[in-house]
Amino acid sequence: MQNKRKLSFWDMWNLSFGFFGVQIAYALQSVNISRIFATLGADPHQLSFFWILPPLMGMIVQPLIGKYSDRTWCKMGRRKPYLLVGAIVAVLVMAFLPNAGSLNFSTKLLLGLNGAMWFGLFSLIFLDTSINVAMQPFKMMVGDMVSEEQKAQAYSIQSLLCNAGSLVGYLFPIFFTWIGIANTAPKGQIPQSVIWSFYCGAAILIACVMYTFMKVKEMNPKEYAEFHGIDPAVASSESENKQGLFKLLFHAPKTFWTVGLVQFFCWAAFMYMWTYSNGTIAANCWNATDTASEGYQSAGNWVGVVFAIQAVGSILWAIVIPKFKSLRMAYVVSLLLGAIGFISVAFVHNQYVLFLSYFLIGAAWAAMLAIPFTLLTNSLKGEHMGSYLGLFNCTICLPQIVAAALGGVILKICGGVQGNMMIIAGVLLVLGAICVRFVEEKRA
């Protein structure tokens, strides 16, 4: 293995800066989807089904982006063309999605959903597809251009920017409410505070992505081959990419599967947080169940606040993670702290006490953003980096699909109390922490 050039802090910052804008879009989606569809008329038992779409699109799109970007060598770069296209489509969809309730599509259509909900569903499909197309290249570029010794730092910087973007996206609705933009609307329509949040998020997204696009210069095939110690002929041709995704999956390193098992429990837990936080907080802290009420919409804003607290906790905990002697130990401790946070949410009736709960959840989130990708990319060679990172995204998407598909059934078993779903989320994180014992830290 040749000595690999080291990147400066600002090189790694520029590499991931666009992630800040992409994560604002993802945060706006995460914190507002349940609120938007509940406002449009969805029943609480239906909410989890709307959440199937985002991970389903990610599971389809990201492996393909990985596979085809592995064989893309052009003047614009290897990963950057996908980054740009995804960002442009995301910006367009973010201008349409929050207006679903203003189109007067109130007639019930297929599956008992009205036209506004169907419009929202298709908008959500395009939004999440484009976010996935824009998001995945950032993870791949770190794998492509950063040495094994610096990957933990590079992914920590990416985690920092990711959480900073989340912080902005989560706080947008309450900020616009604070400056006087309406936070309530006629029944079936989305408040202007949410609509303007999406507009501003779209503007920041394209600005940040363009910054990375202009600042980062990807390696050519020869430089890439030298950096990763592989045959230049292989790096510059399609021969090494002719292996199908299923064949690559069959030959995936053990770390892929063991970390994937941990990922299953972690991402299922967070799916329930995104789906049921709004209903839990509205019921426990505002005694509100009517989605058109001021209390319910205030709770929707407060979800953005506590998610922002989660992001702050994640940023601070990301500083602590490198202090652990073992990534595995950091993983376990982080997930257990998150489990305590999830379970406590079900029993808290004071909106300010929720700060502590979501701060602890932030510890688990910090670990989930940085540790899995560090463990995986260190176990891989350079030939199929994009394809494996795309396939690895299935360990993020599949558990969300399973959790969303079962969410309504589990909620019914739990008596229809959305707070009980937060307890289920905590138990899932404990199971994830137990599974960390199967993970090995190794390098290719």
Main-chain dihedrals φ then ψ at residue 370, nearest 5 degrees = -110, -45
Residue 233, in any domain of the structure: no
Q: What are the residue ranges of helices labelled H in 179-237?
A: 192-215, 221-228, 232-236
Q: What string of DSSP letters covers 288-330?
A: ---TTSHHHHHHHHHHHHHHHHHHHHHHHHHHHGGGSS-HHHH
> Structurally, how many domains does the chain consist of?
1
| Residues making up the chain, counted from first to last | 444
How far is residue 16 from each of residues 6, 138, 141, 367, measured CA to CA in Å? 16, 6, 9, 18
Measured between alpha carbons, how far is 129 from 123 in angstroms, rounded to an integer?
Answer: 10
**Higher-confidence position of 437 and 6:** 437
Residue 122, in any domain of the structure: yes
pTM: 0.74
- Residue type at 317? W
Quick one: how far is CA 312 from the chain centroid?
16
Contact predicate 315/164, CB 8 Å: yes
* CA-wise closest residue to 255 among 349, 392, 115: 392
Mean pLDDT of all residues in the chain?
84
Measured between alpha carbons, how far is 376 from 384 in angstroms, rounded to an integer?
Answer: 12
Residue 247, in any domain of the structure: no
Token reading at 348: 């808290």
Residue position matching structure tokens 């109130």: 106
Measured between alpha carbons, how far is 341 from 334 in angstroms, rounded to an integer?
Answer: 11
pLDDT digit string, tens, across residues 190-244: 888 989 999 999 999 999 999 999 999 888 888 888 887 776 665 555 444 455 6
pLDDT of residue 39: 74
Residue position matching structure tokens 């609509």: 195
Measured between alpha carbons, how far is 130 from 127 in angstroms, rounded to an integer?
Answer: 5
HSE (side-chain half, CA atoms, 13 Å) at 105: 18
* pLDDT mean over 111-126: 73
Residue 366, in any domain of the structure: yes
pLDDT digit string, tens, across residues 322-365: 888 888 999 999 999 999 999 999 999 999 999 999 999 999 99
Residue 1, in any domain of the structure: no
Residue 393, in any domain of the structure: yes
How far is residue 388 from each of residues 154, 395, 397, measured CA to CA in Å? 19, 11, 14
Other residues' Cβ atoms within 10 Å of the Cβ of residue 220: 13
Residue 444, in any domain of the structure: no
pLDDT digit string, tens, across residues 258-299: 999 999 999 999 999 988 998 899 999 999 877 778 888 888
pLDDT of residue 422: 96
* CA-wise closest residue to 194 among 97, 117, 71, 67: 97
Measured between alpha carbons, how far is 412 from 407 in angstroms, rounded to an integer?
Answer: 9
Q: What CATH number does residue 387 fall under? A: 1.20.1250.20
* pLDDT mean over 138-166: 84
* CA-wise closest residue to 138 among 199, 194, 62: 62
Range of the domain at 182: 9-228+252-438
Other residues' Cβ atoms within 10 Å of the Cβ of residue 440: 12
Residue 234, in any domain of the structure: no
Main-chain dihedrals φ then ψ at residue 74, nearest 5 degrees = -140, 180
